[in-house]
Structure 1
Amino acid sequence: MSSNAAQAQSSTSSRIIRVSSSLNPIDFAPFGEVVENPETHGGRGKVQKVEANQGSATKWLDVSHLENWYTLAPSRKAAKAVMNMFVCKPRKLEVKDGREVFPVNILERHPFTPQTFIPMGVGPDDKDVRYLVIVAPTLKTTKRESNDLNKPYPAEKPKPNRKSLKEKLLGARPNPFTNDFEATTTPSMLSLGPGRRPKGPGAPDLDNIQAFIARGDQAVTYGPGTWHAPMVVLGSKPIDFVVVQYANGVGLEDCQELYIKEALNIDVDESAIKASAPGIMRAKL
């Protein structure tokens, strides 16, 4: 979401796409991360926990990651962490072949930053509030391809991150609050899972677009460069999202938009909404 985004167009034949599943960390891993309480979501994922606040709280470690890849941007302009709020109204659905669908006319990506959407004031049992997470894989490209969308992106096969001795020493400072050693620099791309790596300059793979139904007690992190639709709120009430990301103010490097000439239609029927209900979702695991 950006008012200063670069734009392009793509064409596809109009078709209806079924919702892949309720939002969960395993299925969503290629595109980013899901932030949820494992104890109320069937213990999914590999998140570790410790006791905190004198035993009065459970602390889940590293539930999502906010890495800054703007050192790879052509402008070399430094980015800062920003926290905005989007008040997202319910989106209008259309009827196709007797089913309610959401038409996807635009996708966007943020090449050098993850983007985390955190819903506020919405509980897991609020059946009138859900949101739709729509993502697409990134197509591989060749060096011969030329497109304005290619310009702000790093190479798809990054070179190994060679650090000086000083950088290695500074990258392993102890945390003053826990005495745990933690990295203070951006990790090497090659050491990260696919959901946390910049995705490269390719266009979205519209043949493999996926959609997930999310509950109000789930936040979502789009990985850097992940093609996704602007937030789609279902139900009858708006959702306030706090959105956390990096940005440097250079439109082409912060956000790009791609318009789809013939809309892709996401099938949003009652069965998809019910499948995201707490009891049913855990029973299907």
Structure 2
Amino acid sequence: MVLRISASSRVIRAEVLDPTAFAPFGEVIQNPATHSDTPNLRRMEANQGSATKWLDVTKMRDWYGLGQSRKPAEVAMNMFVCKPRQLEKKDGRDVFPVRILERHPFTPQTFLPLGIDKAAGTCYLVIVAPTLPLRSRKSSEETLEPAYPVPPPRRKRSLRERLLGARPNLFTNDFSPSTTPAEPTSSGPRPKGPGLPDLQNIRAFIARGDQAITYGAGTWHAPMVVLGERAIDFVVVQYMNGMAIEDCQEVDLGAESDGDGLAVDVDGPIGQGTARARL
């Protein structure tokens, strides 16, 4: 079931993709030798000195242990052939209407474009949103079934447990080990959480052909949007366990009654129009 939420009528401006601006949502993969804005990465020589190896350019972590099914996930590598999207005109400018957002609750997702030069007349638009705090399990968010898991409240420890550090009493045999499932062993940034997308702080970035991106686990984002003259082949890497609701969750963005809904301006100084050469 896809949840439908209302989006106010407004147009946001696309930004040029750079790692610092995109950091709250994931990682930008690009050659540090040709992109001065790349965060510091470790490097080493490889292939008998004929190659430079940059270490840990992105992080793929499996968080499916947090899912309700506890079904293990495997790495999936798929190819998406994404055609250019149809744009609309608003006040004489090219805009892309945002009608749907999705997230992959327990896995990062990396998009690797193939065969697109940075100077080509094709680029792609990355649309992302922060995650709102979960208000209540009695709210409309329950319609994302089964609900994205929320850690159970911590049980208040008894005085005895606090004094013993929750360890077995050496003089009795009445200690019972915890039945709480163990947390996944993945480290690093945790999934974004169970809340709905924050549409007031949605952002959009235009990526060149020599840039790849990784959405952080649970990051709300639009399906891939290709701009320009030709399709882009993307190799997409993520974890999947075959449980549809755990692999992907979606919300439809419906326009409020008096507006056109949410759109991204891809024209002008940083978008598809006059500054294509700058990208």
The answer to whether the superposition gives a TM-score over 0.5 is yes
**CA–CA distance in structure 1, aligned partners of residues 114 and 237 of structure 2:** 13
- 1:238–1:158 distance in 2 versus 1, CA, 3 Å: farther
Paired-residue identity, %: 60
Hey, what does 1:260 align to over in structure 2?
A: 253
TM-score by length of 2: 0.81
Distance 1:23 1:37 in 2: 14
- 1:150, distance to aligned residue in structure 2 (A): 6.7
2:100 equivalent to 1:106: yes
Could you list the per-position Cα deviations for residues 62-85 of structure 1 after superposition, in whole angstroms to 9, with x for gaps in the alignment?
Answer: 000110011111011111100000
TM-score by length of 1: 0.79
Provide structure 1 residue ranges, at least 5 long, that are not aligned to the other structure: 1-5, 160-184
The correspondence for 1:67, drawn from 61, 69, 81, is 61
**Judging changes above 3 Å, is the alpha-carbon distance between structure 1 residues 158 and 144 closer, same or farther for their aligned structure 2 residues?**
closer
Choose from 7, 22, 26 the match for 1:12: 7
CA shift in 2, pair 1:156/1:270, >3 Å: farther
Q: Aligned-pair RMSD on alpha carbons? A: 2.0
Q: SS of the counterpart of 1:216? A: coil
Q: Give the conservation status (yes or no) of the 8 Å contact 2:81–2:234.
A: yes
Q: How many residues align?
A: 241
Is contact 2:62-2:239 (8 Å) kept? yes
How far, CA to CA, are the matches of 1:64 and 1:48 in structure 2?
A: 12
Higher helix share: 1
Superposed displacement of residue 47, structure 1: 1.5
Which one-letter code corresponds to 2:67 in the other structure?
Answer: A
**2:214 counterpart of 1:216:** no
* Aligned equivalent of 2:16, options 7, 22, 28: 22
User: In structure 2, what residue type is equivalent to 1:148?
Assistant: T
Contact 2:130 2:219 in 1 (8 A): yes
Unaligned stretches of 5+ residues in structure 2: 155-183, 256-260
Q: Distance in 2 between matches of 1:153 and 1:46?
A: 34
Counterpart contact for 2:145–2:245, Cα < 8 Å: no
Question: Is the contact made by 1:107 and 1:258 (CA closer than 8 Å) also made in structure 2?
Answer: yes
**Aligned 8 A contact 2:18 2:37 in 1:** no
Structure 1 contact 214–276 (Cα < 8 Å) conserved: no
